[in-house]
Every structure is written in C-alpha cells, then in structure tokens.
Amino acid sequence: MIVALKRGASPEKESQLIDWLKGMGLGVHISRGEFQTVLGLIGDTGRVDMDLVASLDIVDTVSRVTETFKCCNRKFHPDDTVVQVGDVKIGGGNFALIAGPCSVESEDQIVYIAKAVKAAGATLLRGGAFKPRTSPYDFQGLKATGLEYLKIARQETGLPIVSEIMSRADLELFEDVDVLQVGARNMQNFDLLRELGHLNKPILLKRGLANTLKELLMSAEYIMASGNENVILCERGIRTFSDYFRNTLDLSAVPMLHELSHLPVIVDPSHATGIARMVPPMALAATAAGCDGLIIEVHNDPQNALCDGAQSLKPEDYADLVKKVMAVREAVK
Ligand code: PEP
Ligand code: MN
C-alpha cells in the first residue's frame, strides 16, 4: 500500500502516522522526494482501513500496490535511486562506464587494463575472480588472489572495483570489494541474495539467462527486503532461438524496468552478444534506450584471454566506443 503525504505535512504528524502503522506490524518504507513524501507499507496491509488513512489531514492519496515487488517498485519510490560507489554515482542521470576483463589473470594484466580503461573514460573496473564456467575443466578464476590483484589495480588507478560473488561462503573475501556482482546463473540464489541484503554495499544484479523481468525484480526485492537498497539491475541478454549470438539482448527491458522500478538499469552488451564487433552497436543502442550505464569486457590480448576473449574489446576500441556513447547520450538528452 502507498500512502502519499501532502506537501508540508508536519514532521510530528508524519512520525505519529508512521508509528501507528508500525504498531500494526507493518514495515514502512519512507521515500522523501523533491515534491512529496511517500510511505510504502510492507506486510499484511489487508487490516489497514484505507478510508481512515485517507481521511487524515496530512494524507494526500492512498492506493494499493498490486505488484508482488514492493521495495524496488517505482510506486514506492517515485524518484530514481542513485547508487553511490565512492565518488561515482549511478542512476538518476548519472552514467556508469564499467569496463575490464572477464577474468583477472595476473597483476600485470589487470593493472594494465585498468589504466587503459580509465584513460578511455571508464568510471569503474570490472574483473572476475570467481568464475561461473559451464565446464568444470575451464579456468575457474584466481579467486582470492584475483581479488588482491583487483585491489592493486584500484590503488593504481583510483577506479572502484566490481567483481562477481558466487557463494555466500566467500563473503569475507569480498569485504573490500566496492560492488558485488551477482551473475546471471545466481540471480535466483535466494540464500545469497538474502545475505547480500544485510550488507551496506552496492549489488550489481544480472538478469538470469532465462528469467523474466518480474523475476529479476523479485530477486532485487530479496536484497532490498533484507535492508540493502543499493541495487543496480543489469540486462545481459537472455536465451532465445537466436542462432548467431550467445544470447539475445532484450533492450526493451531498459525502458520497462525504468517504468516499473526506481533502480538504475545498466546493460552488458558483451555477454548479450558474445561477439566483440557486435558490442559497439549494441552499446550505442542501449545508451539510446536510456540505460544508466554499460558494463563491457575489455582485454589487452583477446586472442589469448583465459575467458570470453571473443567478446572482449581491445582498449583502443573501447576508447573509441566511449566517445560514441557520450555522443549518443548527448543526442538523446
Ligand atoms: C561476467 O560478467 O563475467 C559473467 C559471467 O556474466 P553473466 O553472469 O552475465 O554471464
Ligand atoms: Mn565474461
């Protein structure tokens, strides 16, 4: 249920109302927008007398939220959420350029790429240390050592770091990682999501290979319902009958997720296409569709990459793409 308060509602009456609602066993999510404060009620709202609440002099409107996702629902929080990572803001008009290799392979490799993507304009560095590979015989990542190399790259460049966490057993290792990525394969690992909800750290939540937007939002809800509101949604392509691509980039997800939710929405054209030369056109299309950022795989030596070389851009191609992304942003402003 949504209770929108009148402009200028007195703080005393507002807290009286909140206490009263909490007294009925409800969770109250408070969103203070520029023009209006909105209270989102979570729990069994069936017992709340809507007419009584609507009659209060500080209440503007009362409505029911029919969707099963509440905390991430735009009705609960009409303004865009801006996720802050150090000095970097994502969402609400702030565009994130996340770039780096699929996997951290060595200290030299990640430091080299970090410097190159930073020079190109990237604002965050990505790099997998724990890799969810289809085959158990493929490179599984450098794990804890990979995270240490990422931290060195952060120290060298100042770029905040983004890395995928696959299991809650690894949480301690990620204490000093700036953004925790939940990969497509773990989008519905509900135990992991719940645990991440107890952190006070941004979570980059990728859409599962075969998941609907509603399921993606319900996974965000798992994290937010446990208390962590710093969630970034990521469209990274879904399984269809497309034959030439690794996945199909569902670009329509961007405006729809923006309509349904207040969370920032970024796009990963690398995993969506699986082909380096397809990354720039899809990155530009995603930018035109209004995404809040791009996560793109960049490798100094794609041919010899230990993971996802075929979809990785060379640093110079990434630099070229960033310029075009900026031009598209300007054009669609
Ligand atoms: C990745 O970002 O390297 C990755 C494995 O992505 P996804 O979970 O989208 O496949
Ligand atoms: Mn990858």
Residues with Cβ within 8 Å of residue 230, at least 6 apart in sequence: 83, 84, 200, 201, 202, 203
| Residue having the nearest C-alpha atom to atom 9 of ligand 1 | 184
Q: Over the stretch 242-256, which tens digit does the pLDDT of each residue have?
A: 999 999 999 999 999
Instruction: Please report, for residues 1, 250, 261, the alpha-carbon distance to residue 69 in angstroms, rounded to integers and kept in the order given.
Output: 12, 21, 9
Q: Which residues line ligand 1 (CB under 6 A)?
A: 102, 128, 132, 183-185, 206, 236, 268, 271
* Dist. CA 114–CA 122, nearest whole Å: 9
Torsional sign, CA 200, 125, 302, 242: positive
Instruction: Please report, for residues 12, 92, 138, the alpha-carbon distance to residue 268 in angstroms, rounded to integers and kept in the order given.
Output: 46, 19, 22
Span from the CA of 247 to the centroid of ligand 1 (angstroms): 12
Span from the CA of 1 to the centroid of ligand 1 (angstroms): 35
What is the share, in percent, of the chain residues with pLDDT greater than 90? 95
Instruction: Please report, for residues 10, 78, 208, 246, 273, the alpha-carbon distance to residue 27 in angstroms, rounded to integers and kept in the order given.
Output: 21, 18, 29, 42, 41
Fold that domain 83-331 belongs to in CATH:
TIM Barrel (3.20.20)
Ligand of minimum distance to the alpha carbon of 308: 2
pLDDT category, 66, cuts 50, 70, 90? confident
CA dihedral (179, 180, 184, 190) in degrees, to 10, reads -140
Mean per-residue pLDDT for 273-292?
Answer: 98
pLDDT category, 294, cuts 50, 70, 90? very high
Mean per-residue pLDDT for 130-153?
Answer: 97
* Dist. CA 249–CA 101, nearest whole Å: 20
Q: Which pLDDT value is given to residue 238?
A: 98
Instruction: Please report, for residues 10, 302, 311, 329, the alpha-carbon distance to residue 323 in angstroms, rounded to integers and kept in the order given.
Output: 48, 21, 20, 10
Span from the CA of 20 to the centroid of ligand 2 (angstroms): 49
Question: Which of 164, 165, 209, 306 has most ligand 1 atoms within 8 Å of its beta carbon, as the pocket-test mutant?
Answer: 164
The pair of structure tokens assigned to 58 is 């500080």
What is the share, in percent, of the chain residues with pLDDT greater than 70? 100
Mean per-residue pLDDT for 261-271?
Answer: 98
Classify domain 2-63 by CATH number. Answer: 3.30.70.1140
pLDDT category, 47, cuts 50, 70, 90? confident
Q: Which pLDDT value is given to residue 175?
A: 97
**For the CA of 181, the nearest atom of ligand 1:** 2
Q: Which pLDDT value is given to residue 74?
A: 97
Q: List 73's β-bridge partners, or say none.
A: 261
Q: Which pLDDT value is given to residue 34?
A: 83
Span from the CA of 271 to the centroid of ligand 2 (angstroms): 6
Q: Which pLDDT value is given to residue 40?
A: 94
* Dist. CA 313–CA 304, nearest whole Å: 13
Radius of gyration in angstroms for the set of CA atoms belonging to the chain, rounded to a whole number = 21
Q: Is the pTM of this model over 0.85?
A: yes
Residues carrying CATH 3.20.20.70, the chain = 83-331
3-state helix, strand, coil in the chain (%, to 5): 40, 20, 40
Please determine, for residue 149, whether its predicted confidence score (pLDDT) is greater than 90.
Answer: yes
Q: With residue 37 as reference, give the H or E element that holds it.
A: strand 37-42
Q: Over the stretch 111-137, which tens digit does the pLDDT of each residue have?
A: 999 999 999 999 999 999 999 999 999
Q: Over the stretch 10-34, which tens digit does the pLDDT of each residue have?
A: 999 999 999 999 999 999 999 998 8
* Dist. CA 160–CA 173, nearest whole Å: 16
More confident call, 8 vs 204: 204
Interior CA angle at 126 toward 124 and 128, to 5°? 160
Q: Which pLDDT value is given to residue 287?
A: 98
Mean per-residue pLDDT for 130-151?
Answer: 97
Average confidence score pLDDT of the chain: 96
Ligand of minimum distance to the alpha carbon of 132: 1
Burial 32-70 (b: 16+ CB within 10 A, else e): eeeebbbbbbbbebeebeeeebeebebbeebeebebebb
CB 186 within 8 A of CB 203: no
Residues carrying CATH 3.30.70.1140, the chain = 2-63
CB 75 within 8 A of CB 62: no
